[in-house]
Homo-oligomer: A and B are copies of this chain.
Amino acid sequence: MGLGGLLVGLFLVSAVLVGTSVRHGVSRAEPEPEPELELAEWDPASGAFPEDSLWPLPQSLRTSPRQLQLAPDRFQIVHGAGSSAGPACALLQDAFRRYYEYMFGYARWLQRGRKGLAAKPELAQLQVVISSPEPGCNGYPQLASSEAYRLTITEPVAVLKADEVWGALRGLETFSQLVHEDDYGSFLVNASEIYDFPRFAHRGILLDTSRHYLPLKSILTNLDAMAFNKFNVLHWHVVDDQSFPYQSIYFPELSNKGAYSYNHIYTPTDVHLVIEYARLRGIRVIPEFDTPGHTQSWGQGQKDLLTPCYSGKQPSGSFGPVNPILNTTYDFMTKFFKEISSVFPDDYIHLGGDEVSFACWKSNPEVKEFMKKQGFGIDYAKLESYYIQKILDIVSSYNKGYVVWQEVFDNKAQLKPDTVIEVWMGNNYVQELSSVTGAGFTAILAAPWYLDYISYGQDWKKYYSVEPLDFPGSEKQKKLVIGGEACLWGEFVDATNLTPRLWPRASAVGERLWSSRNVTDLKDAYKRLSNHRCRMLSRGIAAEPVFVGYCAHEARRR
């Protein structure tokens, strides 16, 4: 991308100054490499490189210096000739309006009313053409959905072609990122040709609504940000030990007793709204109902579900994981997961299965007796697998696939071949990827992307520099890694700090999972990421700064 250029107009990149020292002991902690001098950044007359604002970078991109002008009052996003989608495709109609707003909304408030300035050729339309006979307007995105698109920008009309609406959504995002404002408020786009598709099919964000309740608005805002970064899976870690905010239809006592309060719940309407808001942005919602551990809150509203712990010969009054030895447990789970399978349309449910403590099971005489009967000896991992396998069978019977945390694999539960294993343990994830895929299972990588862990400085570089396929294994094994997830566990996160903690740090993961493997230049990424975070800010996402500098529009909008 040659010389460092300043994208004048919508964004100004972070300022870098000669002789700037990062103040006050940064050298003591984690030294920030001093960015190189880029004088051009102070020169508003310098040329803007259209690719300086793209995030994640498309797979293939050709741009020309030839600029086309867009007139907000005339420009239209329309269904192109031959498209299998038309005005009845509410998903696209909604997306057209949304992206029009992102591109021009701010300018319209200003009401510049400038109409006669067009010295450049005008781009009058973006025509969207869906080629598949089943465009997907009323469906849900799936693991196998096509997100590829081709975008050709020349006057008088640009054309966005995609197999399905999911690719069109990604292409609209890219188109909107290419449109920029010049110093005089004109909207420009460079003639360009883009062919793009994701490197990995599963690109997720994990939100945790149990350690802290997240108001609906926070979740929806996050879905917006996900779309801006081409993420396509919301992994909703909805319940855990601390609270049970999911309002069940069959078992209302679970949230009545297990939620923090009657205010801190997601009603069926809330849940449907999240799913629909996500669908309209091409995002799958995979709910996680983690058992048998992490279930303290379940026990509040469901009698006899958890294992009573013993202190010597007496029940201690506290409870451990789900009780795996009772038939009532499986009766409950059968009914509960029937509801979950019906409420959440995605093909997959996340069943958890992580961090099961055996201490309580070991203390309970009836569990010990059951172990003996089953011939498990003292291997409580066998009891855990016994439980998990019954749960997997229940969920399979509803025609759902399942994702589980890596311990389920590590503990050698018998798994259906299409089980997805999520690798989260940070100490040796490279080897784990090798083992999981070596055994023929599909894997999702989360371990290096636990964004709840914070540290001083530009930690996005660490997330960005992870190469998911850098593990020992065959080509066939590599193909089994279907993607990854940035996880924002909620111990220290609620609505007050979720957005700036997650964005733009998760953006680094977003590009790693979408763009080509060879897109690894940190300096180029820094420039694009700084612009991208300013754009997120202008679209209402309070993404934190990458480093020193400013966004052109931030002061006016607050």
A19-B360, A23-B355, A355-B23 known; A548 and B261 CB under 8 Å?
no
State which residues 207-248 of A face B: CB under 8 Å. Answer: 208, 211-213, 215, 217-218, 240-243
Q: Please, which residues of chain B bring their CB within 8 A of the CB of A211?
A: 23, 548
Q: Determine the distance from Cα of A355 to Cα of B492 in the docked complex, in whole angstroms.
A: 34
Q: A25-B425, A455-B455, A499-B496 are in contact. Are A242 and B18 (CB under 8 A)?
A: no
User: Are the CB atoms of B544 and A492 closer together than 8 Å?
Assistant: yes
A483-521 residues at the B interface, CB under 8 angstroms: 487, 489-497, 499-501
**Is the Cβ of A296 less than 8 Å from the Cβ of B19?**
yes
Residue of B nearest to A446 (CB): B24
CA of A450 to CA of B426, assembled, Å: 29
In the bound complex, residues from chain B placing their C-beta under 8 Å from that of A340 are none
Q: Render A530-547 as a binary contact track against B, CB cut-off 8 A, 1 for contact.
A: 000000010000111101
Chain B residues with CB under 8 Å of A425's CB are 25
Chain B's nearest CB lies how many Å from the CB of A481?
20
Residues of the B chain whose Cβ atoms lie less than 8 Å from the Cβ of A552: 261, 263
A453: chain B residues within 8 A (beta carbon): 29, 456
At the interface, is chain A mostly helix, strand, loop or mixed?
loop
B-chain residues with CB within 8 Å of residue A12 when the two chains form the complex? 260-261
In the complex, whether A101 has a CB less than 8 A from a CB of chain B is no
Judged by a CB distance under 8 angstroms, whether A454 is at the interface is: yes
Known: A450-B25, A456-B453, A496-B542. A19 touches B318 (CB 8 A): yes
Instruction: Tell me if B456 and A21 are in contact (CB < 8 A).
Output: no
Distance to closest chain B CB from A207 (angstroms): 13
Give every chain B residue within 8 A of A25 (Cβ-Cβ): 424-426, 450
**Are A489 and B24 touching (Cβ within 8 A)?**
yes
| A171 interfacial contact with B, CB 8 Å | no
Q: How distant is the Cα of A547 from the Cα of B489 in the complex, in angstroms?
A: 12
Contacts of A294 in B (CB 8 A): 21, 23
**Nearest Cβ distance between residue A28 and chain B, in whole angstroms?**
6
| Residue A427 at the chain B interface, CB threshold 8 Å | yes
The minimal Cβ–Cβ distance linking A319 to chain B, given in whole angstroms, is 7
Say whether A260 contacts B18, CB under 8 Å: no
Nearest CB in chain B: distance from A448 CB, A: 12
Q: Tell yes or no: A297 within 8 A of B by CB.
A: yes
- Quick one: which of B22, B455, B496 contacts A537, CB cutoff 8 A? B496
Task: Convert A2-27 into 0s and 1s, putting 1 for each residue whose CB lies closer than 8 angstroms to a CB of B.
Answer: 00000000001001011111111110
Task: Assess whether B544 is in contact with A354, with CB atoms less than 8 Å apart.
Answer: no
Closest B residue to A259 by beta carbon equals: B550
* Contact assessment for A555 and B241 in the assembled complex, using a CB-CB cutoff below 8 Å: no
Query: How far, in Å, is A301 (CB) from chain B's closest CB?
Result: 13
Interface string of A303-343 (1 = CB under 8 A from B): 00000010000000011100000000000000000000000
Q: How many residues of A contact B (CB 8 A)?
A: 81
Contact B22 A491 (CB under 8 A): yes
A497 touches which one: B293, B497, B549, B556 (CB < 8 A)?
B497
Partner of A296, one of B20, B454, B497, B544: B20
CA of A308 to CA of B366, assembled, Å: 83
From A29, A293, A319, A554, residue with most partner B Cβ within 10 Å: A554
Q: Within 8 Å of chain B (Cβ to Cβ): is A264?
A: yes
A375 to B380 CA separation, bound complex (whole angstroms): 81
Contact A455 B456 (CB under 8 A): yes
Segment 22-40 of A: residues with Cβ below 8 Å from B? 22-26, 28-29, 32, 37
Whether A20 pairs with B355 at a CB distance below 8 angstroms is: no
* A193: chain B residues within 8 A (beta carbon): none
B15 to A260, Cβ gap below 8 A? Answer: yes
Which chain B positions have C-beta within 8 A of A240? Answer: 23
User: What are 26 A-B contacts with C-beta separation under 8 Å?
Assistant: A12-B261, A15-B242, A15-B260, A17-B241, A17-B296, A18-B319, A19-B360, A21-B293, A23-B211, A23-B240, A24-B489, A26-B491, A28-B427, A212-B545, A212-B548, A212-B550, A213-B554, A213-B555, A263-B555, A264-B555, A493-B545, A495-B558, A496-B499, A497-B497, A497-B501, A497-B542
Known: A21-B357, A24-B354, A455-B456. 19 other contacts (CB 8 A): A19-B309, A21-B293, A23-B240, A23-B354, A23-B491, A25-B425, A25-B426, A212-B545, A212-B550, A213-B554, A215-B558, A217-B558, A242-B549, A261-B555, A263-B555, A453-B456, A490-B548, A497-B497, A497-B545
Q: List 6 tightest A-B contacts by C-beta distance, closest first.
A: A497-B500, A263-B555, A496-B542, A260-B550, A18-B318, A215-B558
